[in-house]
Amino acid sequence: MPGFRVHITGSTIMGAGYGGAAWIVGDMPPMTCALAGGLCAVSGMLPNLDSGLGIPLRESVAFAAAVVPMMMIQRFHQMGLPIEGVILVGAAIYLTIRFGMDWLLKTYAIHRGMFHSLPAMFIAGQVAFLAFAAEDPLRRYFIASAAVLGFLTHLVLDEIWSVNMGMFGPKYKKSFGTAMKFHGQELWPNLLTYALAVILGLLAAGDAAWTERMHSMRQQMEQAARSVPPMQAPWNYRR
Ligand SMILES: [Zn+2]
């Protein structure tokens, strides 16, 4: 299987291409592109969270623990949390990811289990979508797709590394087909993964509808404000 370095290189190149293309061709704001590129690079590490917490992965979990609360600042703002609340909730999220993930992975993760699967890839995208609550829907889809792309890059690299090109055509290792899969061999992890994907999908769909409604409402209001001539304030009378 490809090592940490192969994965981080692959997903970083993909992220740079994705962010760069969106900036140059797609007219995305440069900061959004930079965030998407970074997220894609980090997301390329996610599937290997199941292979025990070595130093690089421990680092990735700590990194995610720090970045996720920051991504959610806009969301806290929308909820009307005061600054004290933002700090408390941010700290709680940090601790949950930092130590909760640690425990969860140590206890339950099996290498090449459901962490290496297509539904897990969608879960990563949905989490990014829910965490990144930009008002402009296009930017949200763009960021969520960056997480999906990074994850996919990892799965594809794993599959490529499971094929040896020999003199007499390709030879498949035992690991072939264990990364890009829809389901694993065991029932419970499959059910759990799909349940999570469906729940997050429903949440994301509801959230998307809500933000799009807000977005179009804001646009309508701005348009209305532009078309109505400025009113004379009643106290501006002349004698
Ligand atoms: Zn892997």
pTM: 0.80
**The pLDDT of residue 219:** 84
- Half-sphere exposure of residue 172, counting CA atoms within 13 Å on the CB side? 6
* pLDDT per position as a tens digit, 173-200: 777 777 888 888 888 888 888 999 999 9
- In angstroms, the CA 222 to CA 180 distance is 46
Our count of domains for the chain comes to: 1
Separation of CA 112 and ligand 1 centre (Å): 7
- In angstroms, the CA 8 to CA 58 distance is 15
* pLDDT per position as a tens digit, 129-166: 988 887 788 999 999 999 999 999 999 999 888 887 76
- State the Rg of the chain over Cα: 22
Residue 83 in domain? no
Higher pLDDT among residues 212 and 91, named by residue? 91
Separation of CA 175 and ligand 1 centre (Å): 10
Residue 26 in domain? yes
Separation of CA 81 and ligand 1 centre (Å): 38
Separation of CA 119 and ligand 1 centre (Å): 15
Residue 141 in domain? yes
Separation of CA 198 and ligand 1 centre (Å): 24
Flag whether pLDDT at 237 surpasses 60. Answer: no
Q: Which domain holds residue 122?
A: 4-51+109-165+182-221
Residue 82 in domain? no
Residue 37 in domain? yes
Paired residues of 38 in beta bridges: none
Separation of CA 161 and ligand 1 centre (Å): 10
Residue 161 in domain? yes
Which residues place a Cβ less than 5 A from the ion ligand 1? 47-48, 158
Separation of CA 56 and ligand 1 centre (Å): 13
